[in-house]
Amino acid sequence: MEYKRILTVQDISCFGQCSLTVALPIISACKIETCILPSAVLSTHTAGFSGFTFADLTDEMPKILDHWQKENITFDGLYTGYLGSLTQIEYVKRIAKDFVKKGGKVFIDPAMADNGKLYSIFDQTYANEMAKLCAFADVIIPNITEACFMTGLEYREVYDEDYVDELLKALKNIGAKTVVLTGVGYTPETTGVVVYENGEKQYYKHKKFEKGCHGTGDVYSSAFVGANMRGKSLFESAKIAADYTLKCIENTYGDKDHWYGVKFETAIDFLTKAVEE
């Protein structure tokens, strides 16, 4: 097995099972060397907690990159999640250009919105710049809300396959090469993921839990990236990541004290077995 190295750029929420605290262990469990570039450090994530601390690391990022450049450090892949500013988006463009090896892969999860709304810190200008960043990616992993904000299409709670096709076409028009569109459900009791590659579309459907869990988008994207870097096809990776995320939710569901994330560690064996098969 070829030993690969990936860089993931996103924040550290010290408590809460999201962002780098799930990306690092999940991708590492797929036997990929996982390096990090933190965009910020928070005491907790921002959903459900109050009074959390926040340290912006934007000013440190170019210093780290300059040092890496002197040391000739490069990566087989780049995976970004939550980026806190337009400046950080520009730094990611530099990384994609200067630090990813020829033939390496760039994965962009435009983590900025859900349920029809942008996160409170972001505006449409940010969404527009994120759309430009997606043109640098080999694979983008948006949810439907994020796809709408990046393309300007109307967000719908209820939709059909024609609407999803319109979204995919619009994402291609902004420069996206391959799209993994998450949270696609055509019935109330199901959800799933659409993989759009070379004009071909595949859909993987699975059951939907009535109540969502924090951090599952990060868990999904991390598992997808790990599986794909291990050599699984895009659709295989999408399916593995969906099944793994579902298992994490199942292992957490009903535990009222564990409301802040999913017990992703309890299903790591499921993931490692899936990427080995």
Instruction: Kindly give, in sequence order, each residue whose CB lies less than 8 Å from that of residue 240, ignoring residues fewer than 6 positions away.
Output: 223, 224, 227, 232, 271, 274, 275
Amino acid identity, residue 40? A
Q: Residue 222: which of 111, 89, 123, 118 has the closest Cα?
A: 111
Q: What is the pLDDT of residues 65-107, one digit of tens each?
A: 999 999 999 999 999 999 989 999 999 999 999 999 999 999 9
- pTM of the entire predicted model: 0.96
Q: What is the pLDDT of residues 186-220, one digit of tens each?
A: 998 899 999 999 989 999 998 888 777 889 999 99
**What does the block give as tokens for 25?**
């262990």
Q: Please name each of the domains of the chain with its CATH number.
A: 5-276 (3.40.1190.20)
**Which is higher by pLDDT, 212 or 50?**
50
229: pLDDT strictly greater than 90: yes
The answer to whether 99 touches 28, Cβ cutoff 8 Å, is: no
What is the pLDDT confidence band of residue 5, given thresholds at 50, 70 and 90?
Answer: very high
- The per-residue pLDDT of the chain, averaged, comes to 95
What is the pLDDT confidence band of residue 265, given thresholds at 50, 70 and 90?
Answer: very high
